[in-house]
Structure 1
Amino acid sequence: MAVNSTLIQDYIAKQSKEVCAFIYDLDFLSSHMQTLVAQLPTQVDSYYAIKANSDEAVLAALLPHVYGFEVASMGEIAKVRAVSRDVPIAFGGPGKTISELQTALDLNVELFHLESELQLARLNHLAAERGMRVKCLLRVNPHFDLPTATLQMAGQATQFGIDEMELMALLPRLSDYPHLEVIGFHFHCLSNNLDAYKHAALVRHYVQTAQQWATQFKLNLTTINVGGGIGVTYQPHEQEFDFARYCELLAQLCRDYPHLRLATECGRYISAECGVYLCEVTDIKQNHGQYFAVLRGGSHHFRLPSSWQHNHPFVVIARDIWPYSFARPAAVKVAVTLCGELCTPKDVLAKQVTVASLRADDIVMFQKAGAYGWHISHHDFLSHPHPERVYIKDQTLLISEDNHVTR
């Protein structure tokens, strides 16, 4: 297990109330990021997509090891600038407003991923007012086929990017935007691809396509952002992404295109393994012949399982002390649905999974919860208490003073 299990046990042993917490192992996160960057070719700039986990402590742990951070809002820009005044920021997202673009320029955003002609016009207007030129990439929604993945943001009708047909009409007119320096293209087309060979082939196709456009339209192409999209295995039958082989294939691609820089913007693959979500079992009951374990927590803290409709991986941490005279509900060697405390039947984190033993007051620890857990969830629905936020740094537990803000 990636997260320090000894310190998790120490944390649980010290709790005097129902356990509900995210624990993020910053020691593991730093080591993991160093290992990833060491394998990437030197032509590849590694951004961290902070939408996966934007806690200040997480950003600070990654800061020494990444090229920069990829953001998608004014709030995310502010979070990055809270840990560094000058680390490179790439600003993406389909809904950039005038206010957001203005703030991005104020806060020294290095690179803009523009997703429509209106975004080009807005940014060109603001740059003209400041008498400056701004670097940008054009995000593409291509028409070519893509590998199968959990989420697909392009290659079909979505709100993301500039349609390839519209792009062909736009590229001859880039001189209409003299305060923009278009240095390349942005392809972030899918999410959670587990096949390293197919992913490398897709990246090569991105590069070949971008180079063809650069030649056709006489563009000064220097940078291609190939997105994130590298997957994490949440199910036992899934094959882990072969990152080492992927980097070998990227290295060959870089040798074939030595004049280009590539950029990646992984989020999930960087931070998922560093976090766990702990929930105490508050009750176990039967309904219509099925067992249900009700947790002190749920999708308002950890929305990923219900969003993706999967059974999230977990382990049971047994607690043998039961200080009450009344019976302790239990499920032994049966299938159990792990559900949260919300008043909706959709609040399910794992459905009909067999457990050796699960009792009231035991702890369910959901693994790979460091990405797209707390940060995509509807925290205040029903106004339940927020989970505690705990960090492991230098082999020490650090507990946030305020559950709303990382300290």
Structure 2
Amino acid sequence: MILTAEIIERFKATPTPFFIIDRDVVRKNYERIKRNFNRDIEIFYSVKTNDHTEVLRTLASIGSSFDVASWGEIEKVKDLVPSSKIAFSSPVKVPDHIKKAYELGVRLFAFDSEEEIQKLSRLAPKSNIYLRLHVDNHGSEWPLNDKYGASIAEAVPLLIKAKYHSLIPYGLTFHVGSQCLRVENWQKAIKVCADVAFKASGEKIDLSMLNLGGGIPVRYIKNVPSIEEIGEVGRQSLDEYFPNQKLRLLIEPGRSIAANASVLITSVIGRANRNGKNWLYLDAGVFHGLMEAYEKFKFEIKTEKDNDLSVDKKRFNLSGPTCDSLDKIIEDVLLPDLAVGDRVYILNAGAYTNSYQNYNGFNYPEVVVTGAK
């Protein structure tokens, strides 16, 4: 969303910290992805990215399906869309979550191991399952191919095993890594899928679905490939590697739909100079939605004094309010000389921020107390 003077004035009296989410931006991002990949592509929004009720409701109203990773996430969308528009895309699922999803009517499940086949065969028989493949994640801010993804050598044997365990080998999926900056990763991943699909056909397994996963990047500070560029590579790769094939196409965007639809508004609560470095302490930090800052991810920062030419600028380290020394938002950023009470606006704050309260729909463990009182 564009941080305008009107928005700043409109929310001036709202106590900080708080997020503003613009539903219009959510809609525009959804339509942009739909337009640039393939008009027949089905968007399964990644609920883990931002699970705010208004984001989910807005997307459901314009036709979105949903990619979920837990029963907790299913509970957030099950009253918004039919179960046929829910894909349980986590390759490793809690058994009870599979059971509940199946009872609800979900029939689309990801997997990448023999163990998951055993669970799905027992708890979700006759379901359509799709295999997550290991693909190149180089050039992504957060590579995701270490924890998940079957190798090419494992792929066909896993599909065969699934077929003989009362499951329907339905398709393939991959993830090029979160915030992927190399468009060629999509081309390479689609080729991997085509190779696996061809080998599977030799075993009389005809796959009819391809899920392009997530990874579409968003511009924070540095430039990134556009949705238009990635969409063109995707279309060309599908034409080249799956010619004349009528595939059901899915995609699971998250960050590219939610990130720039939100701003986090904070206030300065303290200042200090430590060893020659200026520090500003804000009322929100790493533990209040900015977990990615802990991994040195840089958000774009604006202030209410940016256009005041009478205010000197200095370099600051920005910190959150907690006593934890890891609670650092960004270092060595040039800002106006702010005072306690001044507002700081953290842009593109709609992805992996407020959803960290119960990430992926998993609750915190309960506390059980023992011993004498």
TM-score, reference length from structure 2 = 0.87
Identical-residue share of aligned pairs (%): 25
CA distance in 2, matches of 1:84, 1:175: 29
* Structure 2 equivalent of residue 239 of structure 1: 223
User: In the superposition, relative to structure 1, how do residues 7 and 25 fare at CA in structure 2: closer, same or farther (>3 Å)?
Assistant: farther
Answering whether residue 289 of structure 2 is matched by residue 309 of structure 1, we say: no
Higher strand share: 1
User: In the superposition, relative to structure 1, how do residues 94 and 272 fare at CA in structure 2: closer, same or farther (>3 Å)?
Assistant: same
Answering whether residue 260 of structure 2 is matched by residue 273 of structure 1, we say: yes
* Structure 2 equivalent of residue 118 of structure 1: 115
* Structure 1 equivalent of residue 140 of structure 2: 149
Q: What are the residue-to-residue correspondences of 1:176-191 with 2, within 5 Å?
A: 176-178=164-166, 180-191=167-178
Answering whether residue 329 of structure 2 is matched by residue 349 of structure 1, we say: yes
- Partner of 2:331, secondary structure, is strand
- Partner of 1:165, secondary structure, is helix
Q: Which amino acid aligns with 1:116?
A: S
* Structure 2 equivalent of residue 170 of structure 1: 158
2:204 to 218, 226, 229: 218
Q: Which runs of 5+ in 1 are unaligned?
A: 320-330, 380-407
Question: How many residues are aligned here?
Answer: 353
2:278 to 274, 286, 291: 291
Answering whether residue 269 of structure 2 is matched by residue 282 of structure 1, we say: yes
2:234 to 245, 250, 261: 250
User: In the superposition, relative to structure 1, how do residues 245 and 189 fare at CA in structure 2: closer, same or farther (>3 Å)?
Assistant: closer
2:130 to 137, 156, 159: 137
Q: Which amino acid aligns with 2:144?
A: M
Q: Give CA-to-partner distance per residue, 1:260-293, whole Å, 9 cap, x none.
A: 2221111011110000101101122211111111
Offset, 1:85? 3.8
The more displaced of 202-211 and 49-58 is 202-211
Residue pair 1:56, 1:83 contacting (<8 A) in 2 also: no
Q: Which amino acid aligns with 2:12?
A: A
Q: Which runs of 5+ in 2 are unaligned?
A: 360-373
* Structure 2 equivalent of residue 261 of structure 1: 248
* Structure 1 equivalent of residue 214 of structure 2: 228
Offset, 1:257? 4.5
Offset, 1:252? 3.0
CA distance in 1, matches of 2:36, 2:176: 23
User: In the superposition, relative to structure 1, how do residues 204 and 162 fare at CA in structure 2: closer, same or farther (>3 Å)?
Assistant: closer
Q: Which amino acid aligns with 1:247?
A: G
CA distance in 2, matches of 1:378, 1:170: 32
Q: Give CA-to-partner distance per residue, 1:367-391, whole Å, 9 cap, x none.
A: 0000011212589xxxxxxxxxxxx
Q: Which amino acid aligns with 1:57?
A: E
* Structure 1 equivalent of residue 72 of structure 2: 75
CA distance in 2, matches of 1:305, 1:166: 33
The more displaced of 276-285 and 356-365 is 356-365
User: In the superposition, relative to structure 1, how do residues 275 and 126 fare at CA in structure 2: closer, same or farther (>3 Å)?
Assistant: same
Residue pair 1:29, 1:270 contacting (<8 A) in 2 also: yes
Q: Give CA-to-partner distance per residue, 1:136-181, whole Å, 9 cap, x none.
A: 1012235xx4432111222xxx331334433343334344212x11
Q: Give CA-to-partner distance per residue, 1:84-104, whole Å, 9 cap, x none.
A: 344601102243122111011
- Partner of 2:140, secondary structure, is coil
- Partner of 2:214, secondary structure, is coil
CA distance in 2, matches of 1:75, 1:243: 30
User: In the superposition, relative to structure 1, how do residues 85 and 218 fare at CA in structure 2: closer, same or farther (>3 Å)?
Assistant: closer
Residue pair 2:197, 2:206 contacting (<8 A) in 1 also: no
CA distance in 2, matches of 1:262, 1:207: 13
Residue pair 2:84, 2:105 contacting (<8 A) in 1 also: no
Q: Which amino acid aligns with 1:359?
A: A
Q: Which amino acid aligns with 1:215?
A: S
Q: Give CA-to-partner distance per residue, 1:85-137, whole Å, 9 cap, x none.
A: 44601102243122111011122224101132122112212245xxxx21110
* Structure 2 equivalent of residue 398 of structure 1: none
Q: Which amino acid aligns with 1:358?
A: L
TM-score, reference length from structure 1 = 0.80
